[in-house]
Structure 1
């Protein structure tokens, strides 16, 4: 095995910022399982678990937005980063399951910015 080959969970996702972005999307979507578990709990525990899930999704959305801010130009992004930034709209579903409306709308910001930056860069070349 080459010593430069990334290992571990982030290494299998491609390493670097692309792996961080992919893990944010995966963990954000997987947090839906907390809602399913919370549905069987008493109200106090359910509320706590729902807020934990909302926090996980909010942090994932903010990390993805931060990665976009660091690499706003499509051509300047590390390889593999554009796809998870574009797929971050799926975090709107993770926010919707608990009725976390700020998260629903915030999850749509990054993919819209990614599409807009791609269009701006493409129209500038034409």
Structure 2
């Protein structure tokens, strides 16, 4: 695959940090397919794929949290970044697919921080 094709794909996702945030959500949700495939395997293989899926979800959650830490205030974020950060709540479903409770609770942190930052920014403008 050439550089222009990959650049075009990332640009369609918003480019830069916005594309990374959207890829985290897409990848995290797509990892549910791994759980569906694992259901047909023996127990040791199933557990291995479950841990692979949990790793994918964990990396997505931590990356989104890192992005929020780098852009905590709504006014300082690149345009279009707030939506994927807030939508990261859907990663709770991906974590719940394997009963990965630390991931379920961790997936709620970034959207709650986004909400808190939005409320703080709104109250400071009032």
**Length-normalised TM-score, structure 2:** 0.94
Unaligned runs of 5+ in 1: 1-5
Task: Give the match for residue 28 of structure 1.
Answer: 28
Equivalent pairs counted in the alignment come to 121
Unaligned runs of 5+ in 2: 1-5
Matched, 1:87 2:87: yes
Task: Give the match for residue 44 of structure 1.
Answer: 44
Map 1:1-126 → 2, pairs under 5 A: 7-126=7-126
For residues 32 and 11 of structure 2, what CA distance do their matches in structure 1 show?
A: 25
**Length-normalised TM-score, structure 1:** 0.94
Q: CA deviation at 1:14?
A: 1.0
Worse-superposed segment, 20-29 or 7-16: 7-16
For residues 8 and 106 of structure 2, what CA distance do their matches in structure 1 show?
A: 30
